[in-house]
Amino acid sequence: MRTLSSIEELNFAAAMPAPVVVQKASDHALLEETLAGDEDAFAELVRRYRNQITSYIYRMTNDYDGAVDLAQETFLRVYRAANRYQTTHAFSTYIYRIATNLAISELRKRKRRRLVSLTGLLTSGEGDEVRDFDAPDERPLADANLVDTEQRRVVKKAISTLPEKYRAPLVLRDVEGKSYDEIAAILQTSEGTVKSRINRARNFLRDKMRHYV
Amino acid sequence: MSGKVCREMRREIDQSELRQTLSAEAEAHLAECAACAAFRDERFRLRELVGALEPVVAPADFDVRLRARIARERDTHRQPFIFRLVMSTPAIAVAAVLVMVVGTIVVINQRNRTQTPAVASRGEDKAPVPASTAPEVAVNNDVSPVNGPPVNGTQANGIEEPSVNPPDAPRRLNVIARNNTKSGPATNAVSEVSDSTVRAAQSFQLAPDRAGEVSLSAPVKPMVVTMYDERGGSRKIQLPPISFGSQRLTDNRTPVSMTNTRDW
> Is A5 within a domain?
no
Q: Give the per-residue pLDDT at B157.
A: 41
Q: Give the per-residue pLDDT at B90.
A: 81
Residues A80 and A66 sit within 8 Å (Cβ to Cβ): no
Could A159 and B15 be called an inter-chain contact, meaning their C-beta atoms sit closer than 8 Å? no
Bridge partners, A121 (sequence order): A132
Residues A50 and A120 in one domain: no
Residues A72 and A107 in one domain: yes
pTM score, whole prediction: 0.54
* Window from A68-72, A118-122, A180-184, B41-45 with minimum mean pLDDT: A118-122
Determine the Cα–Cα distance for residues B232 and B261; give it in Å rounded to an integer.
9
Distance from CA of A202 to the nearest CA of B (A): 8
List the domain range (segments joined by +) for residue A130: 116-213
CA A125 to chain centre: 25
Among A76, A156, A180, select the one facing B53 at the smallest CB separation.
A156
Residues A120 and A212 in one domain: yes
Among B46, B52, B70, select the one facing A79 at the smallest CB separation.
B70
Question: Tell me, what CATH number does A203's domain have?
Answer: 1.10.10.10
Please, which pLDDT band fits residue A69 given cuts at 50, 70 and 90?
Answer: very high
For chain A, percent of residues with pLDDT exceeding 90: 46
Residue-level pLDDT, tens digit, chain B, 264 residues: 568 888 888 888 888 877 777 888 888 888 889 989 999 888 888 998 898 888 889 999 999 999 999 888 877 766 666 666 666 778 888 999 999 999 999 999 988 877 655 444 444 444 444 444 444 555 555 444 444 433 343 333 433 444 444 444 333 334 433 333 343 443 343 334 344 444 566 776 666 777 667 777 777 778 888 887 778 888 888 877 777 766 665 555 555 555 555 544
> Is A2 within a domain?
no
> Is A159 within a domain?
yes
Establish how many alpha carbons lie within 13 A of residue B105's alpha carbon, considering only the half-sphere containing its beta carbon.
Answer: 6
Residues A162 and A107 in one domain: no
Residues A51 and A15 in one domain: yes
Residues A213 and A120 in one domain: yes
Q: Among A96, A114, A132, where does a domain finish?
A: A114
Residues A90 and A22 in one domain: yes
Bridge partners, B227 (sequence order): B137, B235
Residues A97 and A150 in one domain: no
Residues A136 and A166 in one domain: yes
Determine the Cα–Cα distance for residues A196 and B121; give it in Å rounded to an integer.
91
> Is A4 within a domain?
no
Short-list A120, A69, A94, A25, CA closest to B61 = A69
Integer CA distances (angstroms), B208 to A197, B154, B188, B193, B212, in order: 109, 22, 9, 21, 9
Short-list B133, B160, B150, CA closest to B216 = B160
Short-list B140, B198, B192, CA closest to B169 = B198
Residues A75 and A46 sit within 8 Å (Cβ to Cβ): yes
Q: Give the per-residue pLDDT at B244.
A: 72
Kindly state the DSSP code that residue B143 receives in the 8-state scheme.
Answer: S
Q: Best mutation site among B13, B40, B46, B54 for testing chain A: the one with the most A CBs within 10 Å?
A: B46
> Is A82 within a domain?
yes
- List % helix, strand, coil for chain B (3-state, nearest 5): 35, 15, 50
Determine the Cα–Cα distance for residues A34 and A39; give it in Å rounded to an integer.
6
Could B49 and A209 be called an inter-chain contact, meaning their C-beta atoms sit closer than 8 Å? yes
Distance from CA of B39 to the nearest CA of A (A): 11
Distance from CA of B54 to the nearest CA of A (A): 8
Q: What is the mean pLDDT of residues A113-136?
A: 51
Q: Give the per-residue pLDDT at B79.
A: 62
Short-list B195, B252, B248, CA closest to B226 = B195
The domain total for chain A is 2
Position with higher pLDDT, A121 vs B221 = B221
Alpha helices in B79-219 (DSSP H): 81-87, 89-115
Q: Among A114, A138, A162, where does a domain finish?
A: A114
Q: Is A188 left (phi over 0), alpha (psi -120 to 50) or beta?
A: left
Could B56 and A59 be called an inter-chain contact, meaning their C-beta atoms sit closer than 8 Å? yes
> Is A144 within a domain?
yes
Residues A132 and A50 in one domain: no
Q: Give the per-residue pLDDT at A55.
A: 95
Question: Tell me, what CATH number does A98's domain have?
Answer: 1.10.1740.10
Q: Among A91, A114, A137, where does a domain finish?
A: A114
Residues A178 and A101 in one domain: no
**Taking CA atoms, what residue in B is nearest to A155?**
B50
Summarize pLDDT for A15-36 with one digit per residue, the tens. 455 556 666 788 888 988 888 8
Alpha helices in chain B (DSSP H): 3-15, 24-32, 34-51, 62-78, 81-87, 89-115
> Is A109 within a domain?
yes
β-pairing verdict for A121-123 and A130-132: antiparallel
> Is A43 within a domain?
yes
Position A176, amino acid: E
- Would you list the DSSP string of B6-32? HHHHHHHHHHSPTTPPPPHHHHHHHHH
Determine the Cα–Cα distance for residues B31 and B199; give it in Å rounded to an integer.
109
Residues A82 and A37 in one domain: yes
Position with higher pLDDT, A105 vs A7 = A105
Distance from CA of A195 to the nearest CA of B (A): 7
- Give the total residue count for chain A: 213
Residues B177 and B213 sit within 8 Å (Cβ to Cβ): no
